[in-house]
Every structure is written in structure tokens, then in C-alpha cells.
Amino acid sequence: MPLPERLDVTFLTSAPDLPRCPKDKYPEVAFAGRSNAGKSSVLNKITGNRRTAKVSKTPGRTQLLNFFELKNSSRLVDLPGYGYAKAGKSAQAAWQKSVNQYLTLRDNLVGLVLVTDIRHPGQPYDEELINWSAQSELPICVLLNKADKVSTSAQQKSLNAFRKNHPDHPCLVVQPFSALRGTGKVDLIQQISAWLD
């Protein structure tokens, strides 16, 4: 069966916390990342719809757990970003609590896409998520996004550094990505489809 050129999704629902997430057993792949890493642009690129996730000039606009359904009832979940949002500390703490609960307790979760900025690798919370996924044996794909902003040699250097820093991770995939040019889109769709199959 040929791999789709995009993931055809429909918005399902938003939830402020884990108890109000959909109550079923369909598998989910979640997207996480700093508020300025380009997470919304990545989602829009792989779904072929620039309206899937709202892209804003003000980072941190995603404040709920947003669920998008694929035709086979599996889902993509856009998690609130972290670390840059122009919001009060209490609001950011509430988002972070909902994200932590989702990642830790959501049985539907089968894979995590961590969107990072290739120009700023190894941010503390990114590293925490990578280490947590290793301990939890949850498959994770680290996207080195905005690859169009650096040279090919710089992309390879970042890839090598990530792999060197996490040699014992049981289920880590790292790849360059450009939401602008589509670099890495096919690889990411293939990875997500394998997780959800």
C-alpha cells in the first residue's frame, strides 16, 4: 500500500485536561515542543492544510490538548507548547500539568514527535522529554525543525550530536525537517503511519 503524501485529518475536539480527553482506545501520536519551535507549521505541512493548527506570530497560542482524527479513527494530538508563551505563570503551570498528565497517564499514546529548533538544540525541557521517553520506552521522533535556516553540514552535525548524546535510547529517531520546504515530510509521515498501524 503506497504511503500517503499527507495525513488527512479532521478536527475532533479540544480538552483542557486529561479527564476531558476522548474516552476510547484509538491510538494517538502527540506533538510537543517549545512554543517557538514551529510545531503548528509542522502539523500543517504533514496534513497539507495550513489551517489544521493555528500558526501565530505570538508563540504559545496552543493552550489546550487539540485532537485531530484520521480516517482510521487514530489521532494526532497537538499539545500546548512550553517555555516561551506570553501568558501568566499560573496559566503556563496549568498547561504544563495537563501535558504531563497526558504524557504520563494516557494509554492511547503510541508515539511522540518532539519539535525542536535545529539552531538551538539540547534545550533543558527537550532533553527531559527525551530522557522520559527512554525511561517509559515510548517511541519518540525528534524533529530538528527549521533545517532550511542552516547548511547541510550543520544539519549533519546536529544529527550526530543528538545521536551521540542519547546512544542508549531504545526507540529514538532524529531527523532534520523544514516546514517551509517540506524536507523530511515523507520520513515523518512514514514514522507516524508505522506507529499508528
Please report, in tens digits, the pLDDT of each residue of the chain (197 residues total): 566 788 999 999 999 889 999 999 999 999 999 888 899 899 999 999 878 876 544 444 457 899 999 998 999 999 988 754 455 555 556 657 788 899 999 999 999 999 999 998 888 888 989 999 999 999 999 999 999 999 999 999 999 988 888 888 889 999 999 999 999 999 999 999 999 98
Bridge-based pairing of strands 109-117 and 28-33 is parallel
Q: What pTM was estimated for this model as a whole?
A: 0.89
What is the reported pLDDT for 67?
A: 95
CB 58 within 8 A of CB 32: no
Q: CA-CA distance, 71 to 32, in Å (whole number)?
A: 22
For 18, counting Cβ atoms within 10 Å of its Cβ (0-12 exposed, 13-18 middle, 19+ buried), the class is middle
Instruction: Tell which residue, 97, 126, 109, has the closest CA to residue 34.
Output: 126
With vertex at residue 116, the alpha carbon angle to CA 56 and CA 4, rounded to the nearest 5 degrees, is: 80
CB crowding 129-164: b at 16 or more within 10 Å, else e: bbeebbeeebbbbbbbbbbeebeeeebeebbeebee
Cβ count within 10 A of residue 66: 23
Boundaries of every domain in the chain:
9-196
Q: Let me know how long the chain is.
A: 197
Q: Which residues touch 188 (CB under 8 Å, ≥6 apart)?
A: 42, 46, 113, 141, 143, 175, 177
What is the reported pLDDT for 125?
A: 86
What is the reported pLDDT for 90?
A: 58
CATH architecture of 9-196: 3-Layer(aba) Sandwich (3.40)
